[in-house]
């Protein structure tokens, strides 16, 4: 499985099962997603079992709200989203799904299912959309050469405890900078190999149109180093910074949604493949060790056969072991 799926598969299949069931039943299911995102799907009231509540808790909700996440979600799920006051306890957003008022035809239903499974992706899309809007604004009236980057224009999303995503719009592009932590030495080295390939991939014909990728180890890139008020930037051996340079052709109205989905999954994609490589190396080593053992046993087995030959019988029937 080369690519990670943007939607939550479990949610999709579970909701599909609930949509197609004969009789509504009570539901209480908690599950998780990448980056410590928690979901909770339940029937709140026991009397009307066909009203499901789907709640999500995202670690960086505070950052996302600052960048207009609520508005984006209201746009996507206008019939289903619950106002802030009715959001489930300990969760950030709740959606209400009424099983009786579902659309009847299969195509719309599938589309609805997919949009629910993309709940996390839609929440995280907010800062990106805002960045693209700011870029368009900057393109219209470009700032003078001496104006320094405004603090409001740089967006920070701390989607994991020690890792963050920085979005920086400029007049002709949008820069997305990921900071990522490699907890182990081997992870760090594998990560370096992978990221070096990302940087070099642009040379290949199939990736000509892809955004430019830059990678720095230890030190944060210059774009975000100078900006005041950004908070503490991680430095050290285990930190890597990956910069994506997105050009306007990546966020035209047609390409915008897929670009956002792709960029969001980057960090998880990278770490997933690092771990897959480690597992592959491990299984390779195991086969190699088995082959060595076979060779060594060849040395032993011949000797054991030699043992068998040493027992001999004389003509009269006496047997002895040859020294």
- Residue 185 engages other proteins in binding (rule: CB under 8 A): yes
Task: Kindly tell me which residue out of 181, 210, 233, 245 binds other proteins, with binding defined by CB under 8 A.
Answer: 210
- Residue 217 engages other proteins in binding (rule: CB under 8 A): no
HEC-encoded secondary structure of the chain: CCCCCCCCHHHHHHHHHHHHCCCCCCCEEEEEECCCEEEEEEECCCCCCCEEEEEEECCCHHHHHHCCHHHHHHHHCCCCECCHHHCCCCCCEEEEEEHHHCCCCHHHHHHHHHHHHCHHHHHHHHHHHHHHHHHHHHHHCCCCCCCCCCHHHCEEECCCCCCCEEEEECCCCEEEEEEEECCCHHHHHHHHHHHHHHHHHHHCHHHCCCCEEEEEECCCCHHHHCCCCCCCCCCCCCEEEEEEEECHHHHCCCCHHHHHHHHHCHHHHHHHHHHHHHHHHHHHHHHHHHHHHHHHHHHHHHHHHHHHHHEEECCCCCEEECC
Task: Kindly tell me which residue out of 21, 30, 189, 218 binds other proteins, with binding defined by CB under 8 A.
Answer: 189
- Residue 283 engages other proteins in binding (rule: CB under 8 A): no
Task: Kindly tell me which residue out of 196, 219, 235, 310 binds other proteins, with binding defined by CB under 8 A.
Answer: 196
Nearer to other proteins, 225 or 278 (CB): 278
Task: Kindly tell me which residue out of 26, 102, 296, 311 binds other proteins, with binding defined by CB under 8 A.
Answer: 296
Q: Which window, 134-142, 145-153, 210-218, 313-321, contacts other proteins (CB under 8 A)?
A: 210-218
Nearer to other proteins, 122 or 259 (CB): 259
Q: Which window, 86-94, 169-177, 194-202, 215-223, contacts other proteins (CB under 8 A)?
A: 194-202
Task: Kindly tell me which residue out of 32, 71, 102, 281 binds other proteins, with binding defined by CB under 8 A.
Answer: 281
- Residue 280 engages other proteins in binding (rule: CB under 8 A): yes
Residues 225-264 binding other proteins (CB under 8 A) are 249-250, 254-255, 258-259, 262
- Residue 37 engages other proteins in binding (rule: CB under 8 A): no
CB of 7 to other proteins, least distance (A): 15
- Residue 183 engages other proteins in binding (rule: CB under 8 A): no
Nearer to other proteins, 71 or 289 (CB): 289
Nearer to other proteins, 84 or 200 (CB): 200
Q: How many CB atoms lie within 10 A of CB 225?
A: 11
Contact residues for other proteins (CB under 8 A)? 2-3, 185-186, 189-190, 192-194, 196-198, 200-202, 204, 206-207, 209-211, 213, 249-250, 254-255, 258-259, 262, 266, 269, 273, 277, 280-281, 284-286, 288-289, 291-293, 295-296, 298-300, 302-303, 306
């Amino acid at each position: 499985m080369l690519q990670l799926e943007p939607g939550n598969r479990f949610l999709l299949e579970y909701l599909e099962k609930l949509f197609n069931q004969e009789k509504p039943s009570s539901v209480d299911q908690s599950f998780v997603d990448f980056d410590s995102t928690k979901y909770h799907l339940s029937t709140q009231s026991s009397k009307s079992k066909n009203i499901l509540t789907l709640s999500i808790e995202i670690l960086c909700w505070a950052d996302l709200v600052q960048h207009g996440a609520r508005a984006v979600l209201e746009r996507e799920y206008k019939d289903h989203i619950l106002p802030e006051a009715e959001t489930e306890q300990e969760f950030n957003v709740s959606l209400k799904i009424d099983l009786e008022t579902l659309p009847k035809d299969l195509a719309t239903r599938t589309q609805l299912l997919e949009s629910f499974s993309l709940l996390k992706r839609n929440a995280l899309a907010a800062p990106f959309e805002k960045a693209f809007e700011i870029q368009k604004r900057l393109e219209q009236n470009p700032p003078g050469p001496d104006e320094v980057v405004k603090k409001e224009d740089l967006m920070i999303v701390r989607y994991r405890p020690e890792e963050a995503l920085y979005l920086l719009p400029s007049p002709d592009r949008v820069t997305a900078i990921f900071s990522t932590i490699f907890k182990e030495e081997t992870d760090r080295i594998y990560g370096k190999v992978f990221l070096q390939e990302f940087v070099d991939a642009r040379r290949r014909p199939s990736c000509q149109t892809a955004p430019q990728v830059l990678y720095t180890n230890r030190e944060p890139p210059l774009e975000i180093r100078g900006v005041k008020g950004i908070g503490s930037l991680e430095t050290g051996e285990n930190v890597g910074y990956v910069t994506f340079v997105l050009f306007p052709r990546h966020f035209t109205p047609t390409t915008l949604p897929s670009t956002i989905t792709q960029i969001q999954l980057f960090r998880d994609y990278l770490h997933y493949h690092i771990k897959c490589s480690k597992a592959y190396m491990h299984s390779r080593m195991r086969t190699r060790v088995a082959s060595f053992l076979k060779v060594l046993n060849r040395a032993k087995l011949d000797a054991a056969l030699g043992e068998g030959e040493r027992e001999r019988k004389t003509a009269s029937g006496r047997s002895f072991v040859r020294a």
